[in-house]
Every structure is written in C-alpha cells, then in structure tokens.
Amino acid sequence: MLSEQIIQAIGKHIPTDRILLNESMAAHTTFRVGGPADCLILVENREELENLLSLLRKTESPFFLLGNGSNLLVGDKGYDGIVIKLTGDFQSIRLGEMKASDGNSSLRAGAAVTLAALARKAMELGLTGLEFASGIPGTLGGGLVMNAGAYDGELGEIITYVEVLNESGEVMRLDHDTMEFGYRTSAIKKRPFIALEAEIQLPSGNPKEIQERMEELARKRKEKQPLEYPSAGSTFKRPEGNFAGKLIMDAGLRGFSIGGAQVSEKHCGFVVNKGNATAADIKEVIEEVRERVDTRFGVMLEPEVIMLGKF
C-alpha cells in the first residue's frame, strides 16, 4: 500500500485529478479483468514523467508503464504499486526529420499514440508500410516493446530510432540496430527503458490502395479472430517451426475452459474472457494448455501475454 506521504509527494508534480487511487485495472486491459492498482497516474509530458520517476526511484516505489493494456493480464488481487499511463504530449504525431527526397518520409510519434491512429495518419499522408499494424489494438510504446507484428510486417522493420528514458532518468536515442528487435522482443523489453517517442520511415504510396489493404486486413482479422470476446490477442508466442494455435487444437483443447476463461473455438491461439472470467481463470487455462501441449507434443509454449500483480 502506498503511504500518504508518497501520494502527497506525487501531488507536487501531477495534478490530483490525474492521480487515480485504487484504480481497477479491468478498465485498462483488453482482457477486462484485474484488481486495483494502488494508484494509476496519467502523465502528460516529459517533465512530469521525469519528476515522477525520479521520486519513485528515490522512494523505491514499484511502478509499471501501461500502454493500452492489450497484451496484459493483471491479477485479481491487483498490483501493489503505481501504474503510469502516458497521455497528452505523448499522443502527438508529426512529420519527422527525413524528407521525401528519396521517396521516403518519416513520422515522429509519441509512445501513447495508438497503432491504429498512426496507421490512419500514414494513410492520410500517402505513406505506405503501416497497414499491417492498423488492427493491432496497442500503443506505439507497447508495440516497440513487443516488436508488434502481423501479416508479414513488424514494427521493428520501419523504425529509424526510438527515444527512451533510461533507468537513471536520462533521455537516450536508440537507433534501429541498438533497439535489438527480435520476435516479440526489443531492447526496451530487456531493459528498464521507457519509450518516449519514435521515428518511423515509410515510402510513399497511394492512399486509396493503403486504405483498401487496411480494410482487407480488418476483414481477415474479423473472420479469423474472436474479436467479439475480450482477450489479449495471441496468448502464446509462435514456437519455432510450428503454430501455437495448431498445437493447441491438435491437443484437443479447442473450447477448453475454466470458469469464464476459454480457449477460443474460433482461433485456438487466443484465450478469451467469455464474460465473467477472473484473471485466475485465464491464468489457469494458460497453464493447463502449456502442460497438456508439452505432454502431447514436447513443446513448452511461452506466453506472449505479460502478467502483472497478484492472482
């Protein structure tokens, strides 16, 4: 539990209407489950973020950087710490430093920009290459951490650099190679960096074709994925040379459920909340699936979903 003293100290840097005490995390995750965080703070600019982090580090207060909560399972008993959600300045998109001389342009976007908004903006500007991301329901920050990808595209492929705050509170610019993008991972996943903003480089394209591609991918998603139920997308990483959904299906686990959590009947790679799941139900389904797939095929599936708090 946070002390009154720390809450008061936070109030010196952040207006109190942006300090939400005992905030239910179910409202901030796409699984729609999760108990309360001690406190959720909406941070609007770099100065607020730097002051807040400096205070939290000095007082050794635990904190967690939240994007859109679309790859996150928070325990039913909540999180003993501070959840930071970026907003305000972190939602801006502007033209980057690179100009269109070689047929490429760049966009600079804050970490709290949603991938959907970024893809839409690129389309409006006649820039192609972000269509793959238009249906991923996360922020740029979360996407950089996870190296979010779909339909043969990955965020890492179009990033020129990312500005982060390191653990000493210094701003660092990580170029593409330093970001160490890999399958659903990056330097920010491995180290306690906070993504502030990133520059992406995109070639010119035809807005109408870009829009058509985005619509086509949205149709594919709707057809293949259980978007009608809360989830965190693919629950497991793709094991090498295989597909998590196929292994789960072949293990006879289609529709397998505990409480309100279920292996989707539409796409076995998704664990969904059928309406009244607890985080514990979801976690149990994940563990049971891992065990049964391992027993049957000798493959231990690795969750892609990040877990936080007490279950």
Residues contributing to the site for ligand FAD (CB under 6 A): 30, 64-72, 86, 111, 136-139, 141-143, 145-146, 148-150, 188, 194-195, 227, 231-233, 306
User: In whole angstroms, how close is the CB of 267 to ligand FAD at the nearest point?
Assistant: 10
DSSP H or E segment with residue 276:
none
CB closer to ligand FAD out of 196 and 289: 196
User: In whole angstroms, how close is the CB of 145 to ligand FAD at the nearest point?
Assistant: 4
How many CB atoms neighbour CB 211 within 10 A?
15
CB closer to ligand FAD out of 67 and 205: 67
**Nearest-angstrom CA–CA distance, 271 and 289:** 10
Catalytic residues: 184, 234, 304
User: In whole angstroms, how close is the CB of 247 to ligand FAD at the nearest point?
Assistant: 19
User: In whole angstroms, how close is the CB of 20 to ligand FAD at the nearest point?
Assistant: 16
**Nearest-angstrom CA–CA distance, 68 and 115:** 10
CB closer to ligand FAD out of 34 and 141: 141
Helices 115-124 and 207-224 meet at what angle, rounded to 10? 150
Which of 150, 130, 145 shows the shortest CA–CA distance to 202?
Answer: 130
CB closer to ligand FAD out of 105 and 181: 181
Query: Which residues 6+ apart lie within 8 Å of 289 measured at CB?
Result: 235, 236, 248, 251, 253, 256, 263, 271, 301
